[in-house]
Every structure is written in C-alpha cells, then in structure tokens.
Structure 1
Amino acid sequence: MARETWARHAAHEAAVFGLPAVLIYRQMHAQAIDASAPGFVGFNRFAHGRNLAGPGYEAFKTPNADTLYSNAYLDLTGGPVLLEVSATNGRYFTANFLDMFGNATNISARTHGTSGGRFLIATTDWGGEVPDGTTLFRVTQPYMWILLRIEAEDDRALPVARALQDRFAIRSQGQTGTRRAFPRPGSLADVTSLLTVLDWVVENAGVRNSERALVHRFRGLGVGGPLSVAEALDDPRTLAGARQGLADAAMVIDRVKRQKSADAGGWRETFDPGRYGHNYLFRSGIHSLGTGANVRLENFSFTTFSDAEGQVLDGSRHEYVLRFESPPPSEFFWSVTVYDLRTQELVPNAQGKYLVGSNTEGLKIASDGSVTIRLSRRAEGPNAIPVPEGPFYLALRAQGPRRELLDGSWRPSPVRKEQR
C-alpha cells in the first residue's frame, strides 16, 4: 500500500511538471520524427500553414485566426543553425522560440524591427565563431520549437503573407545531429506513455539546474533513472498508484485551466505565459488550453469562460454583448476570438468568421471611442462573432501591448447577456 501511495503522489507531480513537454513532444514527433505522419517535414525545416486557422486546426489548440502559422522543430545536437528572417516592411511577425517545456523568447517585429536579418541559433554551451553580419541568438535546449506568426488581417492579405513565409529559412551549418531513439507518443491518459516521453525529454533536452532535485523524485517511476518506465511500472502497486496520480493531475490541471481571475466579470489575465518560473501547475494549465503561448510583452492575452454574472458562456441559452470603453491598447493589432469549450477549437459557421478585431473590415467604433462586439449564433454585422450552440470561451489578444495594458490601467469589460 505504501508503494501505491508513493507512486500516486510522484506521478501527480511528474504529470503536472511534465505535461507541457509531452504535448510539445507529440507535435514534434508528428512533424519532425514520424516520416509516415501527414505533416512530416523533418528537423530544421519550416512547415508553412498557407491558410488562416479554422475549425479542425490540428497543430495545437486555441490558435490565432489573424496570423499565418509556420512551425519548425530544431535539432541542435550537432551545432547551431542559421535563421534567415525576412524583411516584412512593417507587417507584424514573431518567431516564437519555445523549449520543450514551453518557456518562450522571441525574434519579432517588437524585438528586432521589420527590416529582417540573419541569426545564428545556438545552445548556451556552444562556443564557436559567429559569421560576419549575423546575430547570435542563444537558446537553452538542443531541441526547440519555432512558432512563426505573420500578420494576415484577412484572406486578401494571404498572398503577401505567404510570400513572406517563403523568405524565412533555416540553414544548417553542415553538421549532423546525434540520432537518438524517439519513443512513439500514446494517449495522454496512458501513464506509461506519458512517463516514457517525459523520461526522453529529461534525458535528451534536459531541465534547469534548479529542477534537478524535483526530477530526481521521479526516478522510481523510470524518469531520469537507471530503470526504464516499463520496468518501474511492472510492479502492480506502483502502476495502480501512478494511474491514479495521473488522473488526479488531469483533474487539477483542468480546473486550473478554467479558473476565473480576480478581475470582475470573469476575464482571466494569463499573467506572463512563456515565463512560468517554477509555477508548474500554471504552466500545465496554459498548455492544456493551447501550446505555443507567447510572453506578455509580445502578446498580452485574457480568456473568459463566463459572463458578468459568473455563468458559463453558452450560445444555446443566450446572446451576449461585449463593450470596451476604448479599444485594447496595442502597437500592432488586437482581436477577440471565440472557441468551442469542448473542442478548444474555432467554431464552424456559415460566415467562416471567428473573431473581431482592429483588422476587421468595417469595424465600427462609436463616437465616444467605445467598441461593442456582439456574440450570437446570427452574428450580423462587422462587430459580431458567431458562437456555437453550446458552451464557449473567448480569448482577447493584444499584439505589442501598450503601457495601459502592462500597468493594469486598461482591463476588458465583462461579457453581458444581451437584453431583448
């Protein structure tokens, strides 16, 4: 019984700590490792999404619908790669670098302007020569995810945005990475699969020095130790405890994902996703809602699952109105997007419309400077967004937040039921 209790607690901790790594590894495996997968391109190559995200978008949950996405997974075990950044001539872009645990940093319009450049992407232990005309950009792990976003305000902007995608390129420097055995990921509810992937990440991508003591506690489950996960879980008591620990963690992470903030009206500020420190529960909650979160200086975001009365947003029961006294203050653009609560995906609708924002054609701003957005299944007019016939949530994003967002003097108003 003691082994089962220990395994339950250890697996709970391991799942809370490791879920982001498992989610990102699953994406990496499909694009860079599994040659039979539909979207396979291999390491150190971009896979470009040529259309704006819509319902059924597969790469990750809760996607933007006003940027084109490109994804690349880097293998730096053989040395650095060169990233060529296209000049975008004022159009917003961000190359969001994420390690295997989702910690983020950027090469973007905000950090480096829109004139383009060449960047040598190298781990912190690399000590070679940097070519002339090239900027050294350090990353913390030999396996990294680049999530490239390029602004595309609507379908008419796609030719320009696609041309820019093609001018972003990754060049290897002639070296070959170390080939390792990559485990095939299974169900997130399978504790053996989850721990096996986490063990691979710990051994091959590494953890911060400050996390080594924590990870050492998982050795009895086969993570980072002499036993394999299969050997550790061959004991029935350990397996039973680990299964329950994973179920416990999944329940807690789901609650964290949905919890409301202290702000009135249910809007939850996502604090600083991409810089989680040691708040592993917050990190897992963010990643279970959607991987690829950016730092707040790049993308200041809020989510809400409820209206001003604390009731779950539900398109089968109500229509809603969201009124901002002034538009969200941003250097580049802002948007409010609707997602289905069950699938965490964009909502299919006849109009093919998923958001309202500063780039919305015909957006109406009142004479007092306010912006009113209507949320209904009919969604008539430029300031309206279709909602599903069931529970949904909203994401508000401001790309390049201004001071009023950063210092807290601007906050979104609550979503209210439309009075008929």
Structure 2
Amino acid sequence: MASTHHPKHHAQAAATDVYVFGYAQIMMELTRRLQTNTVKVNATQAPTNQFCQYDAPPTPDMKNVVRPNVDTLYSQAWLDLAAEPMVLAVPVMDEGRYWLMQLMDAWSNTSFKSPSSTRPLGAPTTDPSSGAQVYAYALTGPGWKGELPDDVHHVPMGTDTVWLMGRIEMFNTGDDVENVTAYQSLMRLLPLSAWPDQGTYVPPDGTYDPTVSTAPPSEQINALSGPDFFAQMIELLPTTPLNPPDPAMSATLAELGVYPYDPAKLPGAQVLDQAKEEGLKLIANHKGPAPINGWTFVKTDIGYYGTDYLQRAYVAMFGLAANLPEDALYPSTGGPSTDSAGKPIPYTLTFPAGQLPPVDAFWSLTAYDADSFLVANPAEIYSVGHFTAPAPDSDGAVTLYISAVAPEDDSLDKTNWLPIPTSGKFTITLRLYAPQTDAIPADWPPALTRAE
C-alpha cells in the first residue's frame, strides 16, 4: 500500500505550528528590547531590572500607548533572573487602594502568584533601606536553588526573563496622583544578595544599541522574514524552557532543527516564509468567543495559555500582556459617532438595578477614538464609574450617557456622561478590577443602545 505521508507537506505544517508557537515569545522579546534599550531610566524605558514609573495620568495627547487606562498608574520593569533572584518590594498602601503586580514569563503567561492588594501572599516586613512596611517577593528563575530570608515570599517563575507590569489605583487624577507616586518611590527592585543593604545598592547603567528598532513590536514582527523569525527563536530557546513543558512541541522543534539547533535539519527559506504567511493568517483569523450583546468579552483562556498556542498568539497580536480573569476583565464594544448625515449619535448603557459590574476592587468605562486614543473633550472627562459613583435612576438602575455632547436634560447627573468623538468610529472598554467572575451573568454586559 502506498504511503500517504508527504514529508514536504509535513515539514511545512510543522514549521507553521512552530511559527504560531513562537509568536508570543518573539513579540515579548521585541517589546523587551525596545523598552530596555537605554542607559538610564526615562519616561518610557528602563534598563533591565529597573522600574520605569509612569507618574502622571494619560491624556489624549499621549500617543505612545493605545487604549490607556485612566484609573491606575503603571510601574513596569523587565527582569533577568539568570544571575540571581530579584527582590520586588511593594509598600503597604492605604486600605481600599487596589494594586496589582502582574508577572509574566517569556511566553506571555501571567503567573498565578502575581501579588495584588486582594492577594498579597503573606505578611509585610520592614524594608531595610527606607524603614517602610513592604511586601517583599523573591522572584526566582527555573534553575535556581537556594535559601531565602524568612521575610521574603517566594515567587518562582517559569523563565529567567520576566515582564513586571504593576498598577496602582488612583482615587482621582488630581491631588491623589502625588500619593500614588509616593508609593511608587517606595517600590524597589534589587538582587537578592543586596536585599539587606540599608539602601546602598545602586543599579548598574543599561546599554543603548542604536540598531534596535523603535517601531512598535507589532510592526517589527510582521517585518521579520520567516528565516529571521526562526533565527530569533533559535537564539532564545536554549535559555527559555517551554512553559508548560510540552513533549510533542519539543519533538517538533528538534525534528525541524530549531531546538536543539541543527542547520542540516532546518527547512529552507521558502518553507519558513510560507510558515510565516500561514501562521499570521491563522492567528489573525482565530475566532474569539461570540460577542455578548455586541461586546467582545474574553472571560476564559486568557493570561495563562497552557499549550493553546494559537490562543496565546492571538492575544499577543491583539493585546499583549493580558491579565488573568480573576485580576481584570476588559469587555469592549463601539460604533459610529455620527449618522450618515454627520449628526452625532447619542448612546446609552443601562445597568439594571443590582447589575453594576461585580467587582471586589472597582470598575470604570473609558472611551477611545478610531485610533484607540483617549477622546479630547472640553469637560476633560475620559472615564466614568470609578472616581465618582454614577447616580442611579429612580428605579435603582444606572444609565450612562455616551455621546459627543452632554445630555440636554439638566436633571441628569453629569457623573453619568462619557464623551465620545464628534466624528468617526469610537470604542468603549469596561474595566473590571478584581472581578467577581462567578457573579457575572451569561448575558452581561447589557447592550450599548442608540438613544435617538
């Protein structure tokens, strides 16, 4: 009986699988290079193992981040745990202030041990440098063995490369910003050997490489040829264990000569370029869950992906650094700002009585223009729901008014108004921090409704 096995077709399919498998890893690496390519800390970059602190709320003029939130200030860092564990110190904050230190491995998986105000992982200790009460976490790489001080909580990571994305809640965008930046100044990153240092540790300067692209990583990854993409994987895999371990994918990587690297087995440029073309198509066309009342709402299989590499790549393509569902959820919807005659369309979003977003921390609704930036408006209102609780209707429901101009009815509370652009498309994102995932009804959120 003739064999139906076609080695050429098999190699092509395997190479496409590996492209999809490696997509999130390469997206993370391109992001890491861009954000650490500096000698000193600046507004958007920091050397490895140092914080880049965002010390002011975003505005519509800020174009370096799409879909920014106006609820928290970010503290981010790229860590290298190869030499030794790093200690992350997070100050004890005032009661009721939400914070989250999201920790991701090199594959974009968020650690289930990412600490937060709702999950601080143990008791505080005294920072030997500032004397402040802090939670101290020792982040260790996969090969580390050793002893930790009693007052430091162990957070094992699956790879030596870690992306830390910290968020601290602002109670308002006025005088409370100073309180948050004061907490940021008490956050510390330092090698484990320097932890009891009384404040003498000075992090080394980083390096600047003029050949590192400043283009967004999403553009950079599309510009990589198939062979270039695979060359990046070949360089990274020897120091990046698969997380989780996957014997089937490990066998495929070995068969194609990707890891362990074997140039004699590696497919030619034509196969690798086709793997890129087919891989990108698969990722872009991957179907997320069916919309709920017009909302795109990913409630599961996000933040940690196991061996679902297509889902991992899809999230990396459209929203790298996604949180675990128990930490944050971000349903989004949108529509046109005007009708065919150019007249502004007013919308409403009504939460029935008792059906406000179920959260243990807080929720907000933010509007974005067609380019995913904040909407400039004279009232300087960029989100609703968080800083001031929206006023309820007479029946206990809460109606939000989403329109380019303020509602004409003077009796309506302006805390319920969210401005959208005067032209073009817009989107809105609900943010649920520490959501009560079990309390979210299957048909929630309610639909965004034209009010005309």
Please, what TM-score do these two structures have when normalized by structure 1?
Answer: 0.82
Q: CA deviation at 1:364?
A: 2.0
With 21-30 and 168-177 compared, the bigger mean Cα shift is at 168-177
Whole-angstrom distance in 1 between the partners of 2:61 and 2:257: 35
Q: Deviations over 1:105-147 (max 9, x none)?
A: 3111011189641111112432211113222221111110110
Find out whether 1:250 has 2:291 as its counterpart.
no
Instruction: Pick the structure with more helix per residue.
Output: 1
The question of whether the paired residues in 2 share the 8 Å contact of 1:97 and 1:145 is answered with yes
Q: Deviation at 1:321?
A: 1.9
| Aligned-partner Cα distance in 2 for 1:57–1:14 | 36
- After superposition, the C-alpha distances for 1:206-247 in whole angstroms (9 at most, x for unaligned) are 213633432543467763342569x957xxxx4334334323
Q: Which of 274, 280, 283 in structure 1 is aligned with 2:312? A: 283
2:131 corresponds to which residue?
none
CA 1:377/1:254 → structure 2, altered by over 3 Å: closer, same or farther? Answer: farther
In 1: Cα distance, 2:438 partner to 2:318 partner = 26
Q: What is the total number of aligned residue pairs between the two structures? A: 400
Q: Which amino acid aligns with 2:118?
A: R
Unaligned runs of 5+ in 1: 306-312
Is 1:148 aligned with 2:156?
no
Q: Which residue identity is paired with 2:434? A: G
AA of the residue aligned to 2:116: S
Tell me the CA shift for residue 149 of structure 1.
Answer: 0.1
Distance 1:213 1:65, change over 3 A: same
Equivalent position of 1:390 in the other structure: 424
The correspondence for 1:354, drawn from 382, 406, 409, is 382
CA distance in 2, matches of 1:241, 1:54: 45
Cα RMSD (Å) of the superposition?
Answer: 3.5
Q: 1:79 to 1:327 in 2, by over 3 A?
A: same
SS of 1:26's equivalent in the other structure is: helix
Secondary structure at 1:165 match in 2: helix
Does residue 187 of structure 2 align to residue 168 of structure 1?
Answer: yes
Question: Between Structure 1 and Structure 2, whose CA radius of gyration is higher?
Answer: 2
Q: Deviations over 1:238-291 (max 9, x none)?
A: 43343343233333333337x552534344233242122222222222222222
Name the counterpart of 1:310. none
Query: In structure 2, how many angstroms separate the alpha carbons of the residues matched to 1:18 and 1:108?
Result: 29
Single out whichever of 28-37 and 121-130 deviates more from structure 2.
28-37
5+ residue gaps, structure 2: 1-5, 125-133, 195-202, 340-344, 408-413
Out of 329, 336, 354, which is 1:300 matched to? Answer: 329
1:255 partner letter: N
- Tell me the distance in 2 between the aligned counterparts of 1:150 and 1:300: 16
Q: CA deviation at 1:336?
A: 1.8
**Which of 242, 264, 275 is the aligned partner of 1:207?**
242
Deviation of 1:58 after TM superposition, in Å, equals 6.5
Q: 1:36/1:146 Cα in 2 relative to 1: closer, same or farther (>3 Å)?
A: closer
SS in 2 for 1:198: helix
1:263 to 292, 295, 299: 292
Equivalent residue letter for 2:290: S
After superposition, the Cα gap between the structure-2 partners of 1:88 and 1:247, relative to the gap in structure 1 and judged at 3 Å, is same
Measured against aligned partners, the alpha-carbon deviations of 1:283-306 in whole angstroms (never above 9, x if no partner) come to 22222222221111111332335x
Query: Pick from 26, 30, 45: which aligns with 1:26?
Result: 30
Moved more, 91-100 or 4-13: 4-13
CA change 1:286–1:62 in 2 (3 A) is: farther
Judged with a 3 Å threshold, the aligned counterparts in structure 2 of structure 1 residues 226 and 272 are, in CA distance, closer, same or farther, namely closer
Map 1:87-102 onto structure 2 (within 5 A): 87-90=92-95, 91-102=97-108
Distance of 1:80 and 1:162 partners within structure 2 = 26
Amino acid at match of 2:433: Q
Change (3 A) 1:169 1:59: farther
Q: How many Å separate the matches in 2 of 1:198 and 1:154? A: 44
Shift of the alpha carbon at 1:11? 4.4
In 2, distance between residues paired with 1:215 and 1:350?
56
Q: Answer yes or no: is the 8 Å Cα contact 1:334–1:357 preserved in 2.
A: yes
Match of 2:85 among 75, 80, 84: 80
Contact 2:286-2:310 at 8 Å conserved across structures: yes
Distance in 2 between residues matched to 1:243 and 1:377, nearest whole Å: 46
Matched, 1:405 2:439: yes
Deviations 1:317-360 (A, max 9, x none): 3442211113101111001223345x44444445443322232x
* Contact 1:7–1:242 (Cα < 8 Å) also in 2: no
Taking a change above 3 Å as real, the CA distance of residues 43 and 25 of structure 1, as seen in their structure-2 partners, is same
- How far residue 92 of structure 1 moved from its aligned partner, in angstroms, is 0.7
2:160, 2:451 → 1: CA distance?
Answer: 51
